[in-house]
Homo-oligomer: A and B are copies of this chain.
Amino acid sequence: MKTKAQQHESIAPNAGTRQLGTRERIVRTASRLMQRQGYDGTGIKQISTEAGATLGSMYHFFPGGKQELAVAAIRHGDAEFVDILRAVLAAEPDPGAAIRELTRSLAEGLRASDWVDGCPVTATALGTAAGAPDIQAAAAEAFAHWRELVFAKLVEAGLTEADAHDLAHTVISTLEGAELAAQVTRSEQPLLLAGVHLTRLLDTYPRPSARG
């Protein structure tokens, strides 16, 4: 089933995404470009060119046009970060240690991209808040997903549900703001300090010393 689309493309339109379906290639390219340039700064034609797709394909897969494409891009960025978050939370038993490791990883990624690849959701959603409710909704859902993962980890570590709920909010807010600050100031410092301070904050909350 699913005939895919491997008819030509012999000249490698987009490194690393060569044998993906056209739709998937479009979404990934859109997500990456909007992450760097924002919604208004990214044109449909730029996406189609860099994805190795044509305008016809763009509107075939996304009849809702640019807005539908942006929603798909945000969902893609959401899922991508969910994977990262899940992995780093699973690798460390202590929530604080996991978050510190996450800030290190985020800082490294940001520096590696020369400070252009920030949060894929933020850049796309900012500036489109008014007049594009579905884009905003997709961004809000992404934040909620991430909060939920942090919440579960904190509860698992023995915090009360009330404390965990509130802290999950601040953990995500601070990570988001620190990534932003790191990007703007072109420095890893905001992210690394956020990791240290979030750990310190978490440590002020009571939890059973052992739980079995």
Contact = CB atoms under 8 A, between A and B. Distances in A.
B143 A129 contact: no
Q: What is the total number of copies of this protein in its complex?
A: 2
Contacts of A167: 197
A157 interface: no
A196 B166 CA distance: 10
Contact of A180 (B122, B136, B166, B186): B122
Nearest to A181: B173
A197 B166 contact: yes
A27 B40 CA distance: 21
A31 interface: no
Given A41-B128, A129-B184, A184-B140, A193 B178 contact: no
Secondary structure of the A side of the interface?
helix
Contacts of A143: 181, 184-185
A136 B184 contact: yes
Contact of A177 (B177, B197, B200, B204): B177
Q: How large is the interface on A (under 10, 10 to 19, 20 to 34, 35 or more residues)?
A: 35 or more
A116 B130 contact: yes
A189 interface: yes
A187 to B, nearest CB: 9
A191 to B, nearest CB: 8
A123 B194 CA distance: 21
24 contacts: A39-B41, A40-B41, A122-B126, A122-B180, A123-B127, A127-B127, A136-B186, A140-B184, A143-B181, A166-B197, A169-B189, A170-B194, A173-B174, A173-B177, A173-B178, A173-B190, A174-B178, A176-B177, A177-B180, A180-B180, A200-B201, A200-B204, A201-B204, A204-B204
